[in-house]
Amino acid sequence: MTTDYIPSYLNPNDLGPWGQYLQQVDRVAPHLGSLSRWVETLKRPKRILTVDVPIERDDGTIAHYEGYRVQHNLSRGPGKGGVRFHQDVTLSEVMALSAWMSVKNAAVNVPYGGAKGGIRVDPATLSKGELQRLTRRYTSEISMLIGPTKDIPAPDVNTNEQVMAWMMDSYAMIEGNLSTGVVTGKPVSLGGSLGRREATGRGVFVVGQEAAARRGVALAGARVAIQGFGNVGGTAATIFADAGAKIVAVQDHTGTIVRDGGLDVAQLHKHVAEAGGVQGFPGADATLDRDAFWDIESDILIPAALERQITAEVAARLRTKIILEGANGPTTPEADDILADKDVLVVPDVLANAGGVTVSYFEWVQDFSSFFWTEDEINARLTRIMQSAFGAVWDVAQEKKVSLRTATFIVACTRILQAREVRGLYP
């Protein structure tokens, strides 16, 4: 049984990304058999913390930012999920991102629940010193929730290895010991894992290979369009180009560039490092209006930026065969239906971008054992896990005649709710 429970702290007229997640849960509920009596668990985050994060700016003024950490579900293990710094972060968004982490972690069967954090801030407006003070104050404000066996943050949009190092250090100062396992995505010099930086993009590529093989698309010469050229999109571009694909279009927050014969990805990385974005790349044929990105014909489209980019209107226009969701939540449920009608194969976020958290899991295991693996070992294990998760989801999708998204939710929510059921409720 599901209910229409709306938390009192959200706007009932616009639930935002959380509403998108709830619609996805509604689609899986009929497939959960006797576990469906627990489905309400998935619709209520276990724990939400909103914090005020004050910092002293370089000019001596005091600025306040709103921060969150949401633990959606802890049935299968400690919370796990990244921290986002972005001017559009909202509680609804962090709730949805935490729930997608629960589903993702269960889909690839790593022993974690789902959590996510964020601060509503445009980090481009802060100096490096201000960013460090913001990160440290935020870590202090959420320190009662996090810990190596409680909840383990990691990078997400606009956070990186340096931010993770500051988080780890702040937590170590509070705890009085070196707790490398409190965050993942750390620098390798501080207990980070080889391969974590590239892991999400690499995982997108692995599921891309699987999807392309099933759709009869050859990767050599395939036309690939990518939205977002950061950690996920930038790495995916490199790996797809190395496999012979043509990266025909890239869009980021600065602009949209195209080259029909394929962009030189290595040169584009250099340009982005210097210019801060793809706009102005001399190796492009043309620069397009933002909205024209969706009209570019491709074999594979990789949204790797933010949520709710592929709306119903965009889905109707798209000319592609396969969508690999590097970003979290890029496709609305209405768009999902249109894409299904158009026979576009969508590999959902909770599967396609699970490579990052999978190598975060490897990092956490390595930190606990203080024994570090080679990059080849890490990439081989990552590939095995992603291939096996894709195969299991594919089989469920075929058997139940549902989308890969619903199939992933079936696999994952079954694992979450089985754990919930067997643990029981009463103290």
Ligand X SMILES: NC(=O)C1=CN([C@@H]2O[C@H](COP(=O)(O)OP(=O)(O)OC[C@H]3O[C@@H](n4cnc5c(N)ncnc54)[C@H](O)[C@@H]3O)[C@@H](O)[C@H]2O)C=CC1
Ligand Y SMILES: O=C(O)CCC(=O)C(=O)O
Footprint on this chain of ligand X (rule: CB under 6 A): 155-158, 200, 227-233, 251-253, 277, 304-306, 326-328, 353, 356
Answer yes or no whether residue 81 interacts with ligand Y by CB under 6 A: yes
Whichever of 92 and 256 has its CB closer to ligand Y, that residue is 92
Go through 302-316 and write b for each residue having 16 or more CB atoms within 10 A of its CB, e for each that does not.
bbbbbbbbbeeebbe
In three-state secondary structure terms, 194 is coil
User: Alpha-carbon distance 116 to 300, whole Å?
Assistant: 28
Tell me how long the chain is: 427
- Binder of residue 184, out of ligand X, ligand Y, none (CB less than 5 to 8 A by kind): ligand Y
- Shortest approach of ligand Y to residue 81 CB, angstroms? 5
- Binder of residue 81, out of ligand Y, ligand X, none (CB less than 5 to 8 A by kind): ligand Y
Whichever of 77 and 356 has its CB closer to ligand Y, that residue is 356
- Binder of residue 348, out of ligand X, ligand Y, none (CB less than 5 to 8 A by kind): none
| DSSP sequence for 208-263 | HHHHHHHHT--STT-EEEEE--SHHHHHHHHHHHHTT-EEEEEEETTEEEE-TT--
The 36-75 site mask, x for binding ligand Y (CB under 6 A), equals ----------------------------------------
Residues 102 and 42 sit within 8 Å (Cβ to Cβ): yes
State which of residues 132, 184, 227, 403 lies at the interface with ligand Y (CB under 6 A).
Answer: 184
User: Alpha-carbon distance 47 to 115, whole Å?
Assistant: 9
- Binder of residue 181, out of ligand Y, ligand X, none (CB less than 5 to 8 A by kind): none
- Shortest approach of ligand X to residue 208 CB, angstroms? 15
The 100-139 site mask, x for binding ligand Y (CB under 6 A), equals ----x-----------------------------------
- Shortest approach of ligand X to residue 309 CB, angstroms? 7
Determine how many CB atoms are found less than 10 A away from the CB of residue 5.
Answer: 9
Whichever of 53 and 154 has its CB closer to ligand Y, that residue is 154
Catalytically active residues, by annotation: 116
Residue 7 Cα to chain centre, angstroms: 24
- State residue 249 phi and psi, 5-degree precision: -155, 140
State which of residues 42, 107, 272, 357 lies at the interface with ligand Y (CB under 6 A).
Answer: 357
258: left (phi over 0), alpha (psi -120 to 50) or beta: beta
Whichever of 327 and 417 has its CB closer to ligand X, that residue is 327
- Binder of residue 80, out of ligand X, ligand Y, none (CB less than 5 to 8 A by kind): ligand Y
Answer yes or no whether residue 356 interacts with ligand Y by CB under 6 A: yes
**Amino acid occupying residue 166:** W
C-alpha Rg value of the chain to the nearest Å: 21
- State residue 312 phi and psi, 5-degree precision: -60, -40
